[in-house]
Amino acid sequence: MALVRWLQQLRWRLSWWRQRRRLEAIEVVVLDVDGVLTDGGLWYGPEGELCKRFDVRDGLGIRLLQHVGIEVAFLSGGRGGATEVRASHLGIRHCLVGAQDKPLALSRLCRQLGVGREALLFVGDDLNDLAVRDAVALLVATSDAAPALRQQADAVLLQRGGRGAVRELAERLLRARGAWASLSREGWRDRND
């Protein structure tokens, strides 16, 4: 069992190492919501209102990405209000909800931001996220993503959706850009600039 775990860790490290150059070119990180920013569970109140749980560590990861100039966008097929509230709290300018065609939504986002697909990284967790494969430079899966997505993703995170996966991704991107050493040494202060 220990050998299997060690081999999985080695495979994980190699997948990220192979993507290093492409990580350096990323300008936009697009996050699926349910199953990536949340654990995929949906809570309904007595009046039918939808509640979602977001991880504060992922919020810090998003703020760190924004701090180094990486645009972060949310992309979800669902609706409900909680996603828009979280996006507002984090200063996310592009919160694309109710997207029935994710590749089309990504194409529109690229045009709006003036970037090509080589600048896009997408994090997903299920089969519907495979549709974006040809629309992004890097497709990343959470550790608890559907097996088909994990197998076809360029890299797989160690953390589960809604449990620090985005924070882990942020550190990977910051390391690739050489921005992690000073942050991990000196810390980070949100100055709300």
5-40 pLDDT, tens digit each: 666 666 666 666 677 788 889 999 999 999 999 998
Q: How many domains does the chain have?
A: 1
> In the predicted model, what is the mean pLDDT of residues 34-61?
89
Is 181 a domain residue? Answer: yes
Instruction: Say which CATH number the domain at 76 has.
Output: 3.40.50.1000
Alpha-carbon separation of residue 104 from 78, 85, 118, 134, 136 (angstroms): 16, 24, 16, 11, 12
Residue 173 counted as domain residue: yes
Residue 170 lies in a domain: yes
Measured distance CA(11)–CA(4) in Å, rounded: 11
Sign of the dihedral through C-alpha 158, 160, 161, 164: negative
pLDDT tens per residue, range 104-139: 999 999 999 999 999 999 999 999 999 999 999 999
Whether 134 maps to a domain, the answer reads yes
Whole-prediction pTM value? 0.89
Torsion of CA 4, 32, 44, 98, to 10 degrees: -150
Evaluate whether residue 166 is within a structural domain.
yes
- Asked whether residue 193 is domain-assigned, the answer is no
Neighbours of 20 (CB within 10 A): 11
Q: Please check whether residue 20 is in contact with residue 154, taking contact to mean a CB–CB distance below 8 angstroms.
A: no
| Range(s) of the domain holding residue 137 | 2-186
Residue 191 lies inside a defined structural domain of this protein: no
Question: Residue 19: inside a domain, yes or no?
Answer: yes
